[in-house]
Amino acid sequence: MAKNLPAFTLMTSQKPKEIFLTTFKWILICVLIGVFSGSASASFLVSLEFVTQFRIHHDWIVWFLPFGGLLVGLSYYYWGESVVKGNNLLLEEYENPQKVIPFKMAPLVLFGTLITHLFGGSAGREGTAVQMGGAIADQFTKIFKLDNSERKILIILGISAGFASVFGTPLAGAIFALEVLYFSKINFKSILLSFLVAYVAYFTVEFWQVKHTHYSIPEIPQISISTIFYTIIIGVLSGLAALLFSRSTHFWGSLFSKIKFPPLRPFIGGIILAIAIAGFGFTKFSGLGVPEIVDSFSNQNQWYDFLLKILFTGFTLGAGFKGGEVTPLFFVGATLGSALSVIIPMPIALMAGLGFVAVFSGATHTPIACTFMGLELFGLQPGIFIAIACIVAYFSSGSVGIYKSQVVKGAKYRLYRGLNSNF
């Protein structure tokens, strides 16, 4: 009777045995997805650290970036045409379920991301973890014979597990999976399961003793009219930076799409990137840029650092290299906040931290998840500043984010629909 409805929605009409079996089934699915996705993220983080250190100590390897790009392009051209959309495929399958996401998405994006980082492309890591989590999670559709409505739950669980495990932020990961897929259409059961799988994945990475980067904001100013005003300014500028980041990535993607043979896109892009990075000394914009992010919390950045990271990341991903956008967004936000400390009288670490989460909020349309991420990373003390910056950035970043297939609803959707109708 309840086969075509989401699990647990008719629990009150089920017999105790049916309730127990349904509950057990979903807890088991959460544990399995959490363990498998967490283990995948742990191995990915270890591998990513290895290739990053190799590149740092052998900086000549950047000259092979075009050939690395060709490898990535050929692998997707011959084996990955059905999964080349990456994160957007997960969003599309959630919005309009069609068929189970092929498991090959996981090894292909893992290979592509490691190649990108090994040779010096500017990219992140969340896209890889989320895609691996989504691909792993969706395989349980066949195992447990789930219908389309239950498949939506699996996609939420895969995104939650991947995000939580790669960043070490289970609360933010659980909320991000719900918010990025349009929070108001998610039912209570999905929320509980998203949190469960996020924590299972998080503790799985902890079990494998893989460490995450830690950040600190040692000085928090008093809440006042002036500090709130400055926080709003940071939020607005972060939202505009997020808008520029999203537009840049889409622009370069559209430009490279004019090259008819897809494997040539990262090859040609790799040539240009190698010349720019090695020939002009822009190595700090290669890879994740985590050392630069950490440094921005204590040392002032140049005003143009965040712009160059936007340029290099947009170009790298637009050319067809693999990875993610979130850690580069952290780079953009932290260096922007750090640079603004010259003219805004607030502690540099707080400025960097606010930019860190606010740019992410604007680019992904997920202010709630980003607020919780800030609390998990920086503690409860700067909470009011974090929340204000994330919300303001969310409303200041336009209607298009980094994920083309994301459905933007709620207050922001109504705001921009109203503005567009007036022009």
CATH number at residue 80: 1.10.3080.10
For residues 189 and 232, state if they share a domain.
no
Answer whether residue 260 is part of any domain: yes
271, with CB counted inside 10 A (0-12, 13-18, 19+), is: middle
Q: What number of helices (H) and strands (E) belong to the chain?
A: 18, 0
* Three-class secondary structure assignment of 36-78: HHHHHHHHHHHHHHHHHHHHHHCHHHHHHHHHHHHHHHHHHHH
Identify the domain boundary among 175, 207, 239.
207
Report the alpha-carbon angle 255-326-43, nearest 5: 110
At residue 423, the pLDDT reads 43
Looking at the chain, the whole-number percentage of residues with pLDDT higher than 70 is 91
- 13 has a pLDDT exceeding 70: no
Answer whether residue 309 is part of any domain: yes
For residues 230 and 169, state if they share a domain.
no
| 114 token code pair | 């490691």
Mean pLDDT, to the nearest integer, of 160-167? 97
At residue 18, the pLDDT reads 84
Confidence at 188, pLDDT banded by 50, 70, 90 = confident
- Of 93-102, 268-277, 304-313, 410-419, the poorest mean pLDDT is in 410-419
At residue 54, the pLDDT reads 97
Q: How would you label 76-110 residue by residue, b for 16+ Cβ within 10 Å and e otherwise? A: bbeebeebbbbbebbbbbbeebeebbbeebbebbb
Which one is predicted more confidently, 206 or 423?
206
At residue 15, the pLDDT reads 77
Confidence at 10, pLDDT banded by 50, 70, 90 = very low
| 402 token code pair | 């980094």
For residues 23 and 117, state if they share a domain.
yes
Mean pLDDT, to the nearest integer, of 110-126? 97
Identify the domain boundary among 207, 240, 266.
207
Cα dihedral 81/82/88/90 (nearest 10): -150
Q: Which of 21-25, 67-71, 404-408 has the highest mean pLDDT?
A: 67-71
Answer whether residue 412 is part of any domain: yes
Identify the domain boundary among 176, 207, 238.
207
Answer whether residue 18 is part of any domain: yes
The whole-chain average pLDDT of the chain stands at 92
CA distances for 35 relative to 30, 31, 173, 295, 323, angstroms: 8, 6, 15, 33, 22
27, with CB counted inside 10 A (0-12, 13-18, 19+), is: middle
DSSP state of 403: -
For residues 201 and 249, state if they share a domain.
no
Query: Has this prediction a pTM greater than 0.75?
Result: yes
Q: What residues contact 340, with CB distance under 8 A and at least 6 apart?
A: 234, 237, 351, 355
Q: How many domains does the chain have?
A: 2
Range of the domain at 172: 14-207
At residue 404, the pLDDT reads 85
DSSP state of 12: G
For residues 254 and 199, state if they share a domain.
no
For residues 199 and 294, state if they share a domain.
no
Answer whether residue 1 is part of any domain: no
